[in-house]
Amino acid sequence: MSEIRLRFAPSPTGYLHVGGARTALFNWLYARKMGGKFILRMEDTDLQRSSKEYELAIMEALRWCGIDWDEGPDVGGEFGPYRQSERTALGIYKNYAQILIEKQRAYYTVYDKLDNKKPILTTYDYPKEYVENGHDVTISFKVLPGKTRFNDLLKGEIEFDNSTIEDFVMIKSDGFPTYNYAVVIDDHLMKISHVFRGEDHVSNTPKQLMIYEAFGWQPPQFMHIPLILGFDRTPLSKRHGATAVEHFRTIGILSRGLMNYLALLGWSVEEEIFNVKEKISSFDPYKISNKGVIFDPQKLEWVNGKHMRMMDTEELWNEFVEWIKYTQKRIPTCDKQYALKVIRICREKVNTLSQLYEMSYSFFFDDFEYQQEFVNEYLNSPYAERLLKAALLTFQQLENWSVEGTEKACRQLAELQIASKNKTFQLLRGAVTGKLVTPGLFETLSVLGKQKVIERLEKALSMAKATV
């Protein structure tokens, strides 16, 4: 059996879409399972829309997703991607186009100088005089009568009548190849054995197969995967909200959470929560569904939250710090053991790193703001000053700052009946964190410790007095 070789070939005309990330993931999983190669190729022949910025962003997003590639031009000891623009400069596509012209399966088209969309001549001979006189010239593929068939690994036998396909341009007037031509040359020369891609490429496949047939080359095996859809069952796009991998990274989705969720979109797996790298050996492309799948941001958050709670606390803290650096937020400077205690209790009520940052902010920084709801309902209440004074006295005398110790102290305060138990607990919660939704009150007090709790109760008391 020949080597299994798959590729991911994005156009660097935008950031990496989650649909592209899923396509890359499925190709990568199969290459890794089969002990084959996974190749990254930039299809950057659209000079007006392609940019180095998008190329670098796509590569960074793939690395963050945990998807690495196996070969390419050496760039400082790392593999860069193959680029069609560089391959164009080497004359690869023109050389193979010349072979098809000699076989009379391709031909030159000369265009009017005043109307570069109006053809005035087609010929198998190089139109040297026209080129020298400034005419635009393209090379087009000649479609022959008949039918083009292929067996899609997911959809089964697919057939096209060639009469529905017109001759198509292979080399544009600027010398760059078109997609359907370049992809064949590249996949053949790179010995790609399998092409897993979105089903929006089904209509491109007959043109590509005709080129394979014209050269006498064996085509790869194709699998066209249903697209990811929005809730309106149309292909997921910007009108459904943010769709780039960078967006989900920025809002604090873990790479393992995103990859887990994308794998679930179409691949039948027994369990819902898993690390995709641990699923390499069991990945089966034949278990990919042929039905469209809907992208549900809430389900993604739920999956991500599961991973946050399953992770080793120190590993989550490291990911959290990396995310803080990535988003250029304020980095906590504290004892690591304290940080781990904070992460351990705060992660129970959140599903993203951004939610974790918001939940944990008042544990790490003293300049938090009081929520207006807390101020209006509790801090400005007639019982606030008296209850905060009692709390200060209780916690100043407290020696046992375990969760059990802080719970006992809180319940003693409630028994004073200055306010109801719920109001007592909420006033304490807001006084030390500024929020009404936090980790468990007793755990919060225990982790904050005596000094911070007393300082914050004193601050809240001074504000309560100011409102009297």
Q: Catalytic positions, please?
A: 238
Q: Say what angle helices 403-415 and 441-466 make with each other, to 10 degrees.
A: 40
Q: Which residues 6+ apart lie within 8 Å of 192 measured at CB?
A: 5, 6, 7, 39, 186, 220
DSSP code at position 24: H
Torsional sign, CA 391, 396, 398, 403: positive
Closest CA to 459 of 376, 351, 379, 354: 379
Is 238 annotated in some ligand binding site?
A: yes
Token look-up 């544009």 returns 172
* CA gyration radius, the chain: 31
Q: Is the dihedral of CA 322, 323, 327, 332 positive or negative?
A: negative
What is the DSSP secondary-structure string of 161-213? EGGGS--EEEE-TTSPBPHHHHHHHHHHHTT--EEEEEGGGGGGHHHHHHHHH
229: which strand partners?
235, 294
Binding residue positions for ATP: 238
Binding residue positions: 238
